């Protein structure tokens, strides 16, 4: 079976080996977002809320960059080694993801 089209459970996505770490990071981010909600509900000072929003934004960007790195090292490299139209598609996909991250 071609490794590029193999289901994630067999070939694995790049992040699979760090899945628990990603989930833990996202759980912390989720807690931070709930904290922002609570801050607004409790009429916390605007700058303090903005500081927390900045922290959550930075944390999400770090997760996105780590996922992108894993994607490039695993999914894109695997497709590039196989060659063909799927390789071109994976590179295009990665470029578009980078563009979206830079614009955000």
Domain residue spans in the chain?
18-103
| pLDDT beyond 50 at 30 | yes
Q: What does CATH list as the number for 18-103?
A: 1.20.58.1000
* Site of tokens 């960059």: 65
Torsion angles phi and psi, residue 102, rounded to 5:
-65, -35
Cα gap 84→10, rounded to integer Å: 22
* Site of tokens 């990603």: 22
pTM of the model: 0.77
Q: Six-digit token pair at 22?
A: 């990603």
DSSP structural state of residue 72: I
What does pLDDT average to over the chain? 87
Question: pLDDT value at position 12?
Answer: 66
Question: pLDDT value at position 53?
Answer: 98
Nearest one of 4, 57, 10 to 32, comparing CA atoms: 57
pLDDT tens digits, one per residue of 72-97? 999 999 999 999 999 999 999 999 99
Contact predicate 59/29, CB 8 Å: yes
């Amino acid at each position: 079976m071609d490794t590029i089209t193999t289901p994630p459970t067999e070939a694995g996505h790049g992040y699979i080996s760090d899945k628990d770490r990603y989930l833990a990071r996202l759980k912390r981010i989720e807690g931070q977002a709930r904290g922002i909600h609570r801050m607004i509900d409790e009429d916390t000072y605007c700058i303090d809320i903005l500081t927390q929003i900045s922290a959550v934004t930075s944390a999400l960007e770090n997760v996105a960059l780590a996922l992108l790195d894993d994607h490039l090292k695993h999914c894109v490299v695997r497709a590039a080694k196989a060659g063909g139209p799927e390789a071109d598609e994976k590179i295009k996909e990665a470029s578009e993801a980078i563009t979206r991250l830079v614009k955000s």
